[in-house]
Each structure stands twice: as C-alpha cells, then as structure tokens.
Amino acid sequence: MSISMTTENPVLRVPPAAPATAAAHFRASLAFHADVSDVAAALTAGGDPGFVLLDSRSTAAWDQGHIPGAVHLPTALIPEHAEQLLDRAVPVVTYCWGPGCNGATRAALALAELGFRVKEMLGGFEYWVREGFAYETWQGPGQRAADPLTAPVQDADCGC
C-alpha cells in the first residue's frame, strides 16, 4: 500500500526533495549547527576541543547560569570586542538561552560578518541544563537531573 502524494496529505503536499538535493541541504545544515550533546562530548573529551564556546546573552543571564569554559560576549558587543577575545583561526560555537531565542543566530551572523568561522549550538543553555550537564552560576557550580524527554538514554549515546 503506497501513500498517494496528493494535496490531501499535509506531509506530502510538497513532495520530498530529490535525494541529492536533500543530502546537500542536510550536509550544509551540519556545517552551521552543533547540538548540545556533541558540544558536551567535545568539551569533556579532554584536551583542546578545537573551538571556542561563546555565550551571547546578557550579563544577568550569564550570572544566572552558563556553560563552564564558555566565553561571555553579548551579541551587541561583538563588533567592538570580538577581535580582542577571539582568535580568528579557531572556530566559534555560539549559544543563547534556548530554541525559542535567536540570539545565538544573531551572534553567529555578527561573527561571520567579521570573518570568523562559526556554528550555532542548537538548544542553547536551556537544553544544556535539561540534558543534565554541569553549569556555573554567580553562586557557583550547578547541575540538575536530566529531563527524560530530552535525554532519554542516561549516560549513553542516543544513537543518532
């Protein structure tokens, strides 16, 4: 039984792209994005992760919680301070609050326009915390139990 590609099927109203076109799109997407789990794995593997993690939120948000080892540079200050804080030869991974915020995207754009190689961390600080990774606040370190909806397989690779 095959599914008819008609306008009555909302998923297939616009047919899927050809395989080569889809492969190019998804390959390009991976050049622009990293997820929280991959960033955490790179940061905890030991040694130089090969990138700088940049928190583009306000000082108040940074103080509320941030990823250990991240550089704090609010988006509005990137044009003025990026050259002093970052090495153009080292890729930058930006993050902001979470998926409902485009601050990391705006920060990545500002850095790319200055000539930096950059990726955006999907999920932001919200998903960092929700996946159970350690964070720092103005009061010291913190960590919460992983949300089973975001990290269903504890202490293991989800397989994706």
Q: What CA–CA distances, in Å, run from 94 to 79, 97, 110, 143, 152? A: 15, 11, 11, 21, 25
Q: Is position 2 within any domain?
A: no
Q: Is position 80 within any domain?
A: yes
Residue-wise pLDDT tens digits, 66-117: 999 999 999 999 999 999 999 999 999 999 999 999 999 999 999 999 999 9
Q: Is position 15 within any domain?
A: no
Residue-wise pLDDT tens digits, 112-149: 999 999 999 999 999 999 999 999 999 999 999 989 88
Q: What CA–CA distances, in Å, run from 7 to 16, 18, 22, 144? A: 13, 19, 21, 45
Q: Token pair 């998923």 is at which residue?
A: 11
| Cα gap 76→82, rounded to integer Å | 11
What's the CATH number where 91 sits? 3.40.250.10
Q: Is position 91 within any domain?
A: yes
CA 116 to chain centre: 16
Higher-confidence position of 158 and 19: 19
Q: Whole-structure pTM over 0.75, yes or no?
A: yes
Q: Is position 112 within any domain?
A: yes
Q: Is position 153 within any domain?
A: no
Q: How many domains does the chain have?
A: 1
**Domain with 67 in it:** 34-140
Q: Is position 24 within any domain?
A: no
Q: Is position 151 within any domain?
A: no
